[in-house]
Structure 1
Amino acid sequence: MTTTYTPGPLLEAARTTPTALWNDSSDLSELKQSIAFGGVGATCNPVIAYSTIKKHLDVWRPRIEAIAAANPTWGESQIGWQAVRDMSVEAAALLKPIFDEHNGRNGRLSVQTDPRFHRDAKALADQAVEFHGLADNIVVKIPATKVGIEAIEDATYRGVSINVTVSFSVPQAVQAGEAIERGLVRREAEGHDVSRMGPVVTLMVGRIDDWLKHVVARDKLFVDPSALEWAGVAAIKR
């Protein structure tokens, strides 16, 4: 695939700074535009997939009907997750040239595990392994909860590149990083290659901002609005 890049501040930032631009969508048209701006990654989860399906009903209605027809015993959840898988595979294919160019450092699609498994570490790890098998450049989201930390180590040991999510504090990030390291060490000790794995820990600074804005509005607090834009950064720096 030949990419035609779009000059501008995003492309300049991507090329001249350590910034790695990710697209918070797996909509193929949006992802193509993001790549043209210098984007090197993207995300897919049920909410994002639903938004894409609603936006492109002409494309996805027949595809979902075909999934349902091919799997007559499946319920809505199973059909929906298959749509997520299909969407993820297609988005990952768009990013694969970037993945190859950067030797796995960039060009990944991040796919979220099912939040209904939040109490089951084995189910999270098993689904992570399944998603990992969808494409070479998949990275799988697992939350930095007590159960999630266990799943992160297990999935890493089994060869999955993890994107730690639901991570709002330095202690969470440290524990997640330690779990990843334990998984990598165990994997290497058994002679498995880890050179192409690309685990990351995401500190969700913006989500802290979002929550504080909600609290300010809910409790009718008087706060300088500009302070809220930096609240997450301030909290993480502490």
Structure 2
Amino acid sequence: MSDALAELSAAGVAVWLDDISRQRLNSGNLAQLVKEKHVVGVTSNPTIFAKALGDVDTYAETLTDLKARKVSVDEAIRMVTATDIRDGCDLLRPVYDRTDGVDGRLSLEVDPRLANDTEATIAEAKALWWLVDRPNLYIKIPATKAGLPAITAALAEGVSVNVTLIFSLERYGEVMEAYLAGLEKAKANGRDLSRLSSVASFFVSRVDSEIDKRLDKLGSDEAKALRGKAAIANARLAYRDYEKVFSGERWQTLADAGAKPQRPLWASTGVKDPAYDDTQYVVELVAPGTVNTMPEATLKAVDDHGVVRGDTVTPYYAEAQATLDALAGIGIDYDDVVDLLEREGVEKFEQSWTELLDSVKKQLSAVDA
């Protein structure tokens, strides 16, 4: 039998898990995925932690201690999530060492309520970096307009960053610019660029979900023929732009100083439409030097029946551009789609954070101090 996850790794795609919880850590499940399923990194987000903290029994002792210390709900969340991420970093430290800091990474997101506040995002990124205190940490900062200067500032301070909620090619270009500017400032500050790292989380399935909805409203044969094609085309063109930026003179100067490229990370890779192949956002986005972070269901699907065909990105730039052109030709407003998805992305994480706050507040009230 073929090992699709091993084939992905061999093709240059880092296999990451898009989930973390104390139960997953304590049970040995994450360690097993690292050992047997080629998982070399982990991402988290407010929605994932809201679900994890719903497991009252697993976190009861920690919450009891926090209540005894009379910490605020916000601080309780910060302590609980930082602890899980720190333990995950320790579990993945051998991967980090083996790959010279490329993989073995875990991500912890700044409070999404700060997404449009540059200074607050910078301060929170630095605080979380200090709190977790592990070199294989990524601080997640959303690619909002306010987030861009925060990305540069965090890198300049020696904080490795996972840039999240990227939907558009234009914003992705701004993210890469923020990364290069951050490295240049870090270099000017005398920091070791070889220890700094970043990924750019380019969201996939949500693009199809929104565009397919608009195509269904149009209802024409031409519209139907374009269903399920926008997201992969968009991501392939993002990789085209990545190749251009990270082969230029400006980048080479930083690479000569020890810097690592900011790898594209394909996020939101679980298929939303059951009519689609449940592995398509993985097997259709295979390219060297990328990361694919998968929900466990997608990871299992790829492991079970994924077909890896080598590079499925760079040979298809012209086809990808033609897809976006065809969408524009029938009236799909790309800019409107990606603007909406960014706003909704921030709002969804804010909602999850509110759920997390409410859940922890109730749990703190319920435990005996």
TM superposition score normalised by structure 1: 0.85
Q: Distance in 1 between matches of 2:150 and 2:84?
A: 24
**Which residue is 2:205 aligned to?**
206
**Which residue is 2:38 aligned to?**
38
1:187 and 2:186 are equivalent in the alignment: yes
Alignment of 1:1-238 (within 5 A): 8-14=3-9, 16-27=10-21, 28=25, 29-35=28-34, 36-54=36-54, 56-70=55-69, 72-74=70-72, 76-133=73-130, 134=132, 135-213=134-212, 224=224, 227-236=226-235, 237=237, 238=321
Q: Distance in 1 between matches of 2:32 and 2:71?
A: 38
Q: Which moved more, 1:146-155 or 1:26-35?
A: 26-35
Deviations 1:98-120 (A, max 9, x none): 00111101110011111111221
Q: Distance in 2 between matches of 1:85 and 1:121?
A: 22
Q: Distance in 2 between matches of 1:110 and 1:201?
A: 12
Contact 1:44-1:84 within 8 A present in 2 as well: no
Q: Give the CA deviation at 1:19.
A: 1.1
Q: Distance in 2 between matches of 1:216 and 1:81?
A: 41
Contact 1:166-1:204 within 8 A present in 2 as well: yes
Deviations 1:139-177 (A, max 9, x none): 111111110001011111111111111111111111111
Q: Distance in 1 between matches of 2:188 and 2:151?
A: 18
Q: Distance in 1 between matches of 2:108 and 2:229?
A: 28
- What amino acid maps onto 2:40 in structure 1? V
108 and 228 in structure 1: CA distance in 2 versus 1, 3 angstrom threshold: farther
Contact 2:169-2:234 within 8 A present in 1 as well: no
User: Where does the alignment leave 5 or more consecutive residues of structure 1 unmatched?
Assistant: 1-6
The structure having more radius of gyration, on CA atoms, is 2
Contact 2:156-2:189 within 8 A present in 1 as well: no
Q: Distance in 1 between matches of 2:96 and 2:114?
A: 29
Q: Distance in 2 between matches of 1:231 and 1:214?
A: 12
SS of 1:166 mapped into structure 2:
strand
Contact 1:152-1:180 within 8 A present in 2 as well: yes
Deviations 1:20-66 (A, max 9, x none): 11100113244224312001110122221222232x43221222222
- What amino acid maps onto 2:8 in structure 1? A
Q: Distance in 1 between matches of 2:7 and 2:234?
A: 29
Q: Distance in 2 between matches of 1:73 and 1:110?
A: 24
TM superposition score normalised by structure 2: 0.56
Deviations 1:87-106 (A, max 9, x none): 11111111111001111011
- What amino acid maps onto 1:132 in structure 2? W
Contact 2:140-2:161 within 8 A present in 1 as well: yes
The alignment yields a C-alpha RMSD, in angstroms, of 2.3
What is the total number of aligned residue pairs between the two structures? 226
User: Where does the alignment leave 5 or more consecutive residues of structure 2 unmatched?
Assistant: 238-320, 322-369
Contact 1:22-1:41 within 8 A present in 2 as well: yes
**Which residue is 1:4 aligned to?**
none
Q: Give the CA deviation at 1:200.
A: 1.7
Q: Which moved more, 1:208-217 or 1:108-117?
A: 208-217
Contact 1:25-1:31 within 8 A present in 2 as well: no
SS of 1:163 mapped into structure 2:
strand
Between 1 and 2, higher relative CO (CA 8 Å, sep ≥ 6) is seen in: 2
155 and 10 in structure 1: CA distance in 2 versus 1, 3 angstrom threshold: same
Contact 2:143-2:165 within 8 A present in 1 as well: yes
Query: Identity over the aligned pairs, expressed in percent?
Result: 29
Q: Distance in 1 between matches of 2:125 and 2:67?
A: 24
